[in-house]
């Protein structure tokens, strides 16, 4: 009996070792995948104009304990009835930047964005093979956002959208979501980024897709009506109440939005931008023929809707990839089979993890310069030499000037007051200053511009260098500063 017992004990031990080995590999892949996501996010993280005006406006809120009613930084935007968006993010950014430094703010934004992508990846895929195959898709999510990935409220918008998708798929599976969840989520979201409106629109998209399913296959539709309603109620928990919702809708549907790069169609000739639509089309074909017939029409409809949105505006490319990852995961679970022996699987897992962790170590130790993309030296020159006010500046640098100058001197434009840009056309004039030399003199005279802080190699800089009425006061590899010469006084 002792020999039989020992033999059975040996079998049990030999069976436990592969199970423990698989568990170790799964945990290692998760750690390596999360590290790779975080490293890629950190590699692309920056602080652009938007991030700096978050800090600048947050400082005002912290110092004065109230919302400004007039635009405190620019001289050309509409002055009355100014609406300050994302007050919660602004206060958080100001506190972190001023107490811990700009790199700490970059680290915070990277943490939020990496958390969103990690949550998406791990929640959608449960099996090791599925996680391995969908990890490149999670990394593509980050890479597609590379041009706009910066320390700004959008990182909270990405996290909110991922949570929203996961909750809606939970409801679609017939599982319960407590009514306080959409209420609380919207109450937080509305104060950190303007994308909170997705909590109202996206559930309605799910509702419409479910109406295409046979009656007997649908989950209860009531939650998909209650969710956006509760989301709108939660969104009232902002400093302006219902007026903020009206302002947000005006910002979303304002014609000027289409003039911003982020909301223009992506360059589908570029492989990096073509990847997401190609994957979406492949998923539409695969989902129409593979997998469970339950929710097939809904899945296809959702992907088609987000594909159309992504092709019209590159802002929605990451949203499309998030949806593709969630819908693709069950298909991958069904069709993927790993005919690897336990030893080979363990070796492959450890080898891949070593590569990912090595790359992540290099990425996470990358030194970041928070002022890399802004004209810090030129801005300091303007204030140090007390150059005259009414400063003309490019759109993308306005936020930094708010941070560096704190409203003195006032500058021309930044990205906060979208409705103000619509009302007085200053965005159009900024675009003309980049593309239409025949309008340069008229625009500078109309706004009584005394100082121009501009990109060194732009058309406007070349134009001003040839005008006797303008003097080059400063230049560096990034920026130039021109000052209008005082008119000469002729003796009588």
**Is the residue at 460 inside a domain?**
yes
**Is the residue at 427 inside a domain?**
yes
pLDDT at 172: 96
In this structure, the answer to whether residues 413 and 449 fall within a common structural domain is yes
Q: What would the two tokens of residue 53 be?
A: 């005006």
Instruction: Give the C-alpha distances (Å, rounded to integers) separating 310 from 134, 303, 319.
Output: 20, 10, 8
| Domain count within the chain | 2
Q: What is the pTM of this model?
A: 0.89
In this structure, the answer to whether residues 47 and 83 fall within a common structural domain is yes
pLDDT at 169: 97
Phi, psi of 174 (to 5 degrees): 85, 10
Distance CA 326, CA 56 (A): 38
Distance CA 435, CA 385 (A): 30
Instruction: Give the C-alpha distances (Å, rounded to integers) separating 331 from 122, 340, 397, 444.
Output: 16, 20, 45, 59
pLDDT at 422: 62
**Is the residue at 333 inside a domain?**
no
In this structure, the answer to whether residues 355 and 451 fall within a common structural domain is no
Of the candidates 135, 56, 125, the residue with the CA atom closest to the CA atom of residue 97: 56
Distance CA 402, CA 68 (A): 14
Distance CA 409, CA 397 (A): 14
Q: Are 326 and 2 in contact (CB under 8 A)?
A: no
pLDDT at 97: 97
In this structure, the answer to whether residues 365 and 443 fall within a common structural domain is no
Question: Whole domain around residue 75: which residue ranges?
Answer: 24-123+343-370
Instruction: Give the C-alpha distances (Å, rounded to integers) separating 54 from 100, 152, 370, 413.
Output: 16, 7, 14, 15
**Is the residue at 119 inside a domain?**
yes
pLDDT at 421: 66
pLDDT at 68: 80
Q: Are 110 and 45 in contact (CB under 8 A)?
A: yes
pLDDT at 81: 64
In this structure, the answer to whether residues 34 and 63 fall within a common structural domain is yes
**Is the residue at 329 inside a domain?**
no
pLDDT at 340: 45
Pairing of the two strands 391-392 and 451-455 = parallel
In this structure, the answer to whether residues 394 and 477 fall within a common structural domain is yes
pLDDT at 492: 45
Beta bridge partners of 484: 470
**Is the residue at 491 inside a domain?**
no
Phi, psi of 240 (to 5 degrees): -110, -5
Q: Are 213 and 295 in contact (CB under 8 A)?
A: yes
**Is the residue at 452 inside a domain?**
yes
In this structure, the answer to whether residues 360 and 392 fall within a common structural domain is no
Q: How does pLDDT run along the chain (492 residues), one tens digit per residue?
A: 433 334 334 444 444 445 555 557 788 888 999 999 999 999 999 998 889 999 999 999 999 888 887 888 988 876 666 778 899 999 999 999 999 999 999 999 999 999 999 999 999 988 877 888 899 999 999 999 888 889 999 999 999 999 999 999 999 999 999 999 999 999 999 999 999 999 999 999 999 999 999 988 899 999 999 999 999 999 999 999 999 998 888 888 777 777 777 777 887 777 778 899 999 999 999 999 988 899 999 999 999 999 999 998 888 999 999 999 999 999 988 876 555 444 555 666 677 778 888 888 888 888 889 999 999 999 999 999 999 989 999 999 999 999 999 989 999 998 776 666 666 788 889 999 999 999 999 999 999 999 999 999 999 999 999 999 999 999 999 999 999 998 765 544
Distance CA 261, CA 148 (A): 10
In this structure, the answer to whether residues 357 and 449 fall within a common structural domain is no
Q: CA torsion, points 343, 347, 350, 355, in degrees to nearest 10?
A: -170
């Amino acid at each position: 009996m002792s020999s039989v017992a020992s033999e059975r004990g040996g079998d049990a031990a030999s069976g436990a070792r592969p199970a423990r080995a698989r568990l170790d590999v799964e945990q290692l892949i998760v750690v390596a995948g999360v590290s790779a996501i975080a490293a890629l996010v950190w590699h692309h993280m920056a602080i652009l104009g938007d991030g700096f005006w978050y800090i600048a406006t947050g400082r005002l809120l912290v110092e004065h304990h109230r919302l400004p009613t007039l635009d405190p930084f620019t001289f050309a935007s509409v002055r009355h009835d100014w609406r300050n968006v994302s007050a919660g993010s602004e206060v958080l950014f100001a506190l972190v930047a001023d107490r811990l430094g700009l790199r700490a703010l970059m680290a915070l934004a990277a943490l939020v964005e990496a958390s969103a992508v990690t949550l998406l990846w791990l929640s959608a895929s449960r099996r090791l093979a599925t996680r391995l195959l969908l990890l490149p898709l999670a990394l593509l999510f980050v890479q597609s956002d590379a041009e706009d990935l910066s320390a700004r409220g959008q990182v909270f918008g990405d996290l909110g959208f991922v949570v929203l998708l996961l909750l809606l798929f939970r409801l679609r599976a017939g599982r319960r979501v407590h009514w306080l969840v959409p209420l609380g989520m919207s109450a937080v979201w509305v104060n950190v980024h303007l994308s909170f409106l997705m909590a109202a629109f996206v559930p309605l998209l799910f509702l419409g897709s479910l109406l295409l399913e046979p009656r007997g296959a649908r989950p209860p539709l009531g939650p998909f009506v209650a969710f956006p309603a509760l989301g709108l109620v939660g969104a009232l928990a902002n400093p302006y109440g219902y007026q903020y919702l009206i302002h947000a809708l005006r910002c979303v549907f304002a014609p000027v939005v289409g003039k911003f790069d982020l909301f223009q169609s992506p360059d589908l000739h570029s492989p990096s931008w073509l990847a997401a639509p190609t994957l979406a089309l492949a998923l539409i074909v695969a989902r129409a023929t593979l997998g469970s017939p339950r929710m097939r029409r809904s899945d296809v409809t959702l992907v088609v809707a987000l594909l159309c949105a992504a092709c019209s505006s590159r802002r929605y490319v990451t949203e499309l990839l998030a949806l593709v990852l969630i819908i693709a995961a069950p298909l991958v679970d069904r069709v993927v089979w790993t005919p690897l022996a336990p030893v080979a699987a363990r070796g492959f897992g450890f080898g891949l993890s070593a590569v990912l962790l090595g790359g992540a170590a290099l990425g996470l130790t990358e030194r970041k310069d928070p002022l890399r993309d802004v004209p810090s030296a030129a801005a300091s020159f303007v204030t140090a030499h007390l150059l005259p006010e009414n400063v003309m500046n490019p759109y993308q640098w306005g936020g930094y000037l708010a941070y560096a100058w704190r409203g003195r001197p006032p500058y021309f434009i930044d990205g906060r007051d979208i409705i103000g840009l619509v009302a007085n056309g200053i965005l159009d004039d900024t675009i003309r200053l980049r593309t239409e030399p025949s309008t340069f003199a008229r625009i500078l005279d109309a706004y009584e511009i005394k100082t121009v802080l501009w990109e060194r190699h732009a058309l406007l800089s070349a134009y001003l260098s040839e005008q006797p009425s303008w003097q080059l006061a400063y230049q560096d590899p990034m920026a130039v500063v021109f000052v209008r010469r005082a008119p000469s006084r002729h003796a009588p």
